[in-house]
Amino acid sequence: MSNEFTVQQLLERVNNSHQGGGNERVRRITARIVSDLFRTIDEMDVNADEFWAAADWLSRLGASGQMGLITAGLGFDRLLDIRADEADRRAGRSTDGTPRAIEGPLYIAGAPLSHYEVRVDEGEPRGEVLVMEGRVLDEQGQPVAKALVDVWHANEKGRYSHFDPDQAPYALRRRIETDDQGRYRFRSFLPPGYAIPPNSPTSELFEVLGRHGNRPAHIHFLVAAPGQRLLTTQVNIPGDTFIDDDFAFATRDGLVVTLEPGTPPAGYESLGVTAPFTRVRFDFRLQAAQDESESKPLARMARLKA
């Protein structure tokens, strides 16, 4: 057997080299990716310096923990949501629920749990006081009691706890169990938008692509209840410069909230509100789960919790 190859012969050898066993789906996906990269290198005449510069960049990207920023910034996260929406339409499933939106790379399981209401921020206010409240509803518009509303957002510098050593564990992260009427509410502050970290593998790529790395102000949610499909979503704060030009392509119709500034504090004393504040009212409408797996956390979330 000759050990000299043409490009096509090498590709066939790479994709067909196995001794049995393994995972057929992984083999097929890997073969497709390798084939596309072979074609890219060949057709774009990628030289050795360019190839090894890319390999070094990938090594630094992995070490930085920013892979989730790259997948979002190159549209892969939104692609998965688009495909999931299309699959629902093909299956005739209801599309009246709250739109899904990308989770992003910064979810942490196991945040402190409260019933009905909680103050997400701590200490002195760090911005405009916000109270967000509403209900969790099912497909028929009925309240879902004891649903879990997991909420997390960035601090005033655009950074997230756990990934930012200057913040306490679970800062600006809480879980809320809805009451018998499906209600939740929490106090925090209006978070700002933010940009990808400077002088990082992510910023290097977007600089050479001629793209910005800004995200509009947003708040993340994971909403779960027995018998209901797990909902991963995020809401946007109106008025942000990048709301229609999100680096991560995550803005969705129906998820830009309405602000109610100057809301009187009466009735919100239990959240420590003593002066007019900004209110957001938002109901989450869940889809019915077709099987038990749809109401459970995604595999990546389960690994994070382990």
Q: In angstroms, what CA-CA distances link 91 with 84, 105, 229?
A: 11, 29, 15
Output the six-digit token pair for 25. 């789906």
Output the six-digit token pair for 23. 């995972």
Residues serving a catalytic function are 160, 194, 215, 218, 220
Pairing of strands 277-281, 260-263: antiparallel
R_g of the chain, CA atoms, integer Å: 23
Output the six-digit token pair for 165. 């050593």
Question: How many other CB atoms are found less than 10 A from the CB of residue 70?
Answer: 18
Residue 165's closest CA among 180, 178, 179, 155? 155
> Could you give the residue ranges of the DSSP H alpha helices within 66-119?
67-73, 76-90
175-187: string of b/e by CB count within 10 Å (b at 16+)?
bbbbbeebbbbbb
Rounded Cα–Cα distance for residues 217 and 164 (Å):
18
Q: In angstroms, what CA-CA distances link 7 with 114, 178, 186, 299?
A: 60, 60, 59, 37
Residue that has been written with the tokens 């360019």 in this structure: 50
Q: Are 73 and 207 in contact (CB under 8 A)?
A: no
Q: Which amino acid is at 290?
A: Q
Q: In angstroms, what CA-CA distances link 135 with 14, 40, 179, 183?
A: 54, 49, 9, 4
Residue 150's closest CA among 127, 179, 118, 192? 118
